[in-house]
């Protein structure tokens, strides 16, 4: 998905790449985010998936937790981004 986001960005799209906190830490630790750091119109954001960080993240637990806990942080992020003058309004 990050590759797709980079391709869209290269075509002029403003990108906000949203990941879970757990995966965001993995991306930043691997150095994958460093190549994007200088781009003002490419932002990385993260939200909780509902599981503790030390959890192993099996598919069933992750699906259950995101179904219960993901919606509210996601919509909070959408509201935050739409309220920012630095980020274009989110569109569908």
Query: Is a pLDDT exceeding 60 seen at residue 3?
Result: yes
Alpha carbons 3 and 32: distance in angstroms, whole number:
11
Q: How confident is the model at residue 56 (pLDDT cuts 50, 70, 90)?
A: confident
Alpha carbons 19 and 88: distance in angstroms, whole number:
19
Q: What is the mean pLDDT of residues 53-73?
A: 89
What pTM was computed for the model?
A: 0.76
Please give the pLDDT value at position 31: 72
Please give the pLDDT value at position 33: 67
**Residues 6-51: pLDDT tens digits?**
899 999 999 888 988 888 888 788 776 666 777 778 888 999 988 8
Of 50, 45, 46, 47, the C-alpha closest to 66 is 50
Domain ranges of the chain: 2-82
Kind and range of the H or E element at 42?
A: strand 42-47
């Amino acid at each position: 998905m990050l590759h797709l986001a980079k391709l869209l960005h290269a075509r002029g799209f403003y990108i906000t790449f949203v990941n879970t906190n757990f995966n965001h830490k993995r991306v930043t630790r691997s150095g994958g985010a460093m190549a994007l750091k200088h781009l003002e119109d490419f932002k990385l954001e993260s939200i909780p998936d509902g599981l503790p960080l030390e959890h192993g993240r099996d598919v069933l637990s992750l699906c259950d937790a995101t179904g219960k806990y993901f919606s509210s942080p996601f919509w909070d992020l959408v509201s935050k981004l739409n309220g920012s003058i630095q980020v274009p309004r989110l569109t569908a």
